[in-house]
Amino acid sequence: MKQDVNRQEVLSAITPIIENTAMRYNLIPVEIDFSKENHRWFLRIFLYSKERNVTLDDCENVTRSLEGFLDELVPVKYYLEVSSPGLERKFKSEKEFIIFKGRRISIKLKEPLPNETEKIFKGEILDYDVNEGLSFLRFEDGVELQIPKSNIQSAKLYID
């Protein structure tokens, strides 16, 4: 029997529970993904902490805390995967610029900035505003850049 699942409804129902559970462990869910792959549903949660590295114990604690609640809200059989975002994670949403403020990133622009020729920079996120875009400190020369969000093609965490 085929069962129709509204991904957005499921995500809307489970996101507050996931966020509150993660917060109890001083963690932030960077991404919550509910998708179907090879006829199987997967719920993937990527956790981040500003103070420390996310450990296997953190992932286990969040998994155990969520299991009973999620089963009531997700109308299909699914596989739950809880992990850290990875060392050089590619950003998938604007909120990650806020979450990772102060961290090093590599950024690729759609078009070079005025008086610039390059479109790829490495530096530190100074600030992010949904209207103004990204304030960015370029490592190469210590220049602070203001990058409109409409000009950001991609960004990812950067490790030396």
**pLDDT digits 0-9 by tens, 106-142:** 999 999 988 888 899 999 999 999 888 999 999 989 8
Note whether 100 and 93 are within 8 A (CB): no
* Fold of the domain spanning 7-83: GMP Synthetase; Chain A, domain 3 (3.30.300)
- E-only strand ranges, the chain: 28-37, 40-48, 78-83, 104-109, 120-129, 133-138, 144-147, 152-157
The predicted-structure confidence for 43-96, as pLDDT tens digits, reads as follows 999 999 988 889 999 999 999 999 888 988 999 999 999 999 887 888 888 888
> What's the CATH class of domain 95-157?
mainly beta
| pTM attached to this predicted model | 0.77
Q: Judge if 7-83 and 95-157 fold alike in CATH terms.
A: no
Residue ranges per domain, the chain?
Answer: 7-83, 95-157
